[in-house]
Amino acid sequence: GMMTSLIVATFMLLGATFFGLPVSTTHTVVGCIIGFSIAAKGFSSINWDETKNILISWVAAPLVTGAFAILLSANPFTRGYYAFSFILFVTIGIDIFFIFNKGTKNFKHFHNDVYDTKWVVPTSFGIGAFFGLLWLWPFGPLVKKKLEAKKKKKCWKQ
């Protein structure tokens, strides 16, 4: 069932992309799984409470983010530019934390003291901070220059 859902979702996404239609992978896959479950076992096979939560999140997420965009609309480029370094810090820090804390436990040559949170947390978020700082210098300024040059070039064409 899952393989069929993934194959159908792949073709649906390829078709929508070919025709330039806005499409969401998550919406497509969840819809395929629900459709396949209904076809295979009937409507009673669906956990409608969880389905309701998924549907509410699909409606609520754009509304909430849109509201924040309106509330925080003054100078969005600068805010996004600096927020991106914070996003890198948090997401990479969390990713590295889970890699160290969960993933390396399968390796026999690591000792138990390697998993100590006194070591894992600062190392993980230190790596995240490193990548966040790399965005502030040198990569962010390079991207900013390219975007500003592209914007200036676009303005000249008009």
Closest Cα to residue 36, out of 49, 23, 45? Answer: 45
What does the pLDDT average to over 65-92? 83
H or E element at residue 112: none
| 124 — pLDDT class (breaks 50, 70, 90) | very high
H or E element at residue 48: helix 48-71
Q: What is the pLDDT of residues 4-55, one digit of tens each?
A: 888 999 999 999 888 888 888 888 999 999 998 999 999 999 999 999 999 9
Identify the top-confidence range among 63-72, 73-82, 115-124: 115-124
Position 59 pLDDT exceeds 60: yes
51's tokens: 């389905």
144's tokens: 């900013």
Q: What Rg, from alpha-carbon coordinates, does the chain have? A: 22
Beta strand residue intervals within the chain, DSSP E = none
